[in-house]
């Protein structure tokens, strides 16, 4: 079979109940024009048959490290070289532990040691096992080595418990791994005009100094990219940020909160969804100096005045779009965010805890608690691009529900 022009994905399946979803995962990858070679651990074969995976991938499934007939063709080193990407889904706590310790006691773990291809991991396990410090430490080790974590999602589990540990849905994994067009049914966001703010603002003190904040824009840019991948027509109003403009997104630059407010209000009539991901300064210097301030005085008092709240202004419009806000809180996250959702009249709010050891402004990973009138969903700690994909899916669901209700 020719792999010409395809992304070559080596899918490693380990022995968790979510393995029953892997034939669907293979189909989703193939829809995105990938060539998929499946390698299973011995335990995986208790949950899904090699024959099913062979049927959907169109290739014999590999299970044994020392199978003479297989090694005579594509041996484990050749397989490791063949892959453009290694995807481990579902990745059990045991597989994650074996990888963290560099074991090579079966074909799959040996391949991961032998490859130079990027490795993505979609964990799937009971929520206690996911939250156990041993698993958390092993995941940290793999993340530091550059493995990309896809999920897990939060929700009802096969064991009857609820919490983080569910494998992401096959379509989400395929979209995260192979962004771009697919033969999937159109999403609720196809062709929907979306306006999103991102990044910090700078409030001038004088021509060279400003009052600013630590927002990197990573979350807002990742969300703009994920919304565009879901088919939305995205305009990004960005505060100062060094990040590149995502593919298929139109970017408008804004410096201060007042600039951002004007840029949003100019375009709001044309959009169906507004997402406020920017860290807008609440105050600005009352009287910015026309020339550089001299350091003559021993002390200096800056008088600040309130900036317009862009999100509140949009949510108060008579013909308001579906409005999504963010809330960065240091404590009582859910209560504060729910109060903000109601006070600002939003359709959805994505809250995260800031000021702690993980997640937040400049980090690459984040977790969000998403609230809407009458509902909530926790999106666990994961890289911001994967988190943005999950949040986009939730926005699509809630937007579709609001449009039909």
Binding site for ligand C5P (CB under 6 A): 197, 257, 276, 278, 280, 282, 307, 309-311, 325-327, 340
Peptide bond into 277 cis (omega under 30): no
Q: Cβ 327 to ligand C5P, closest distance in Å?
A: 5
User: Is 147 considered catalytic here?
Assistant: no
Strands 85-91 and 7-13: parallel
Which residue number, 10 or 254, has a Cβ lying nearer to ligand C5P?
254
Please give the angle made by the CA atoms of 306, 372 and 315, to the nearest 5 degrees.
40
Residue with tokens 């009458």: 374
Q: Cβ 197 to ligand C5P, closest distance in Å?
A: 6
Which residue number, 83 or 254, has a Cβ lying nearer to ligand C5P?
254
Beta bridge partners of 40: 13
Token digits of residue 345: 């009249």
Q: Cβ 333 to ligand C5P, closest distance in Å?
A: 12
Q: Cβ 368 to ligand C5P, closest distance in Å?
A: 12
- Cβ(217)–Cβ(200) under 8 Å? yes
Q: Cβ 281 to ligand C5P, closest distance in Å?
A: 7
- Selected catalytic residue, list 33, 159, 245, 271: 159
Peptide bond into 152 cis (omega under 30): yes
Q: Cβ 340 to ligand C5P, closest distance in Å?
A: 6
Q: How far is it, in rounded angstroms, from Cα 11 to Cα 29?
A: 10
Which residue number, 336 or 401, has a Cβ lying nearer to ligand C5P?
336
Q: How far is it, in rounded angstroms, from Cα 366 to Cα 69?
A: 46
Token digits of residue 256: 């201060």
Q: How many C-beta atoms lie closer than 10 Å to residue 158's C-beta?
A: 13
Q: How far is it, in rounded angstroms, from Cα 179 to Cα 106?
A: 31
Token digits of residue 19: 């393995």
Dmax (CA) for the chain in angstroms is 83
- Cβ(13)–Cβ(39) under 8 Å? yes
Q: Cβ 347 to ligand C5P, closest distance in Å?
A: 12
> Packing angle between helix 93-100 and helix 133-144, nearest 10 degrees?
50
Q: How many helices (H) and strands (E) does the chain have?
A: 14, 19
Q: Is 349 exposed, middle or buried (0-12, 13-18, 19+ CB in 10 A)?
A: buried
Closest CA to 165 of 93, 87, 97: 93
Which residue number, 338 or 340, has a Cβ lying nearer to ligand C5P?
340
Q: How far is it, in rounded angstroms, from Cα 323 to Cα 340?
A: 13
Closest CA to 347 of 309, 373, 317: 373
Q: H helices within 333-383, ranges in order?
A: 333-344
Computed over its alpha carbons, how large is the radius of gyration of the chain?
Answer: 24
Which residue number, 139 or 281, has a Cβ lying nearer to ligand C5P?
281
Q: Cβ 234 to ligand C5P, closest distance in Å?
A: 16
Which residue number, 84 or 259, has a Cβ lying nearer to ligand C5P?
259
Which residue number, 145 or 306, has a Cβ lying nearer to ligand C5P?
306
Which residue number, 26 or 260, has a Cβ lying nearer to ligand C5P?
260
Residues annotated as part of the active site? 159
């Amino acid at each position: 079979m020719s792999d010409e022009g395809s992304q070559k994905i080596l899918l490693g399946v380990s022995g968790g109940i979510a393995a029953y979803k892997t034939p669907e995962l293979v189909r989703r990858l193939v829809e995105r024009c990938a060539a998929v070679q499946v390698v299973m651990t011995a335990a995986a074969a208790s949950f899904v048959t090699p024959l099913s995976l062979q049927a959907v991938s169109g290739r014999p499934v590999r299970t044994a490290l020392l199978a003479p007939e297989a090694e005579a063709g594509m041996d484990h080193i050749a397989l490791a070289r063949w892959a453009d990407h290694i995807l481990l889904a579902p990745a059990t706590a045991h597989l994650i532990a074996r990888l963290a310790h560099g074991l090579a006691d079966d074909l799959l773990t040996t391949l991961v040691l032998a490859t130079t291809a990027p490795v993505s991991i979609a964990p799937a396990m009971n929520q206690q096992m996911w939250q156990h410090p041993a698993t958390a430490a092993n995941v940290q080790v793999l993340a530091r080595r550059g493995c990309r974590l896809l999920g897990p999602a939060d929700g009802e589990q096969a064991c009857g418990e609820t919490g983080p540990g569910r494998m992401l849905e096959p379509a989400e994994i395929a979209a995260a791994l192979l962004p771009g067009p697919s033969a999937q049914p159109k999403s609720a966001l196809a062709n929907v005009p979306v306006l999103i703010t991102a990044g910090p603002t700078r409030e001038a003190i004088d021509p060279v100094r400003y009052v600013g904040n630590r927002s990197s824009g990573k979350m807002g840019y990742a969300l703009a990219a994920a919304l565009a991948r879901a088919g939305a027509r995205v305009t990004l109003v960005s505060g100062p940020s060094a990040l590149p403009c995502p593919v298929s997104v139109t970017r408008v630059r804004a410096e201060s909160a007042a600039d951002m407010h004007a840029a949003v209000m100019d375009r709001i009539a044309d959009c169906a969804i507004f997402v406020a991901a920017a860290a807008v300064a609440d105050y600005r210097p009352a009287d910015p100096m026309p020339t550089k301030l001299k350091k003559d005085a021993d002390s200096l008092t800056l008088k600040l005045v309130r900036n317009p709240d862009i999100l509140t202004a949009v949510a108060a419009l008579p013909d308001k779009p579906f409005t999504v806000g963010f809330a960065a809180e240091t404590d009582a996250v859910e209560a504060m965010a729910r109060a903000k959702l109601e006070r600002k009249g939003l359709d959805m709010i994505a809250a995260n805890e800031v000021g702690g050891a993980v997640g937040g402004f400049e980090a690459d990973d984040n977790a969000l608690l998403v609230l809407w009138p009458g509902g909530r969903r926790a999106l666990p700690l994961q890289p911001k691009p994967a988190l943005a994909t999950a949040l986009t899916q939730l926005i699509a669901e809630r937007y579709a529900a609001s449009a039909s209700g």
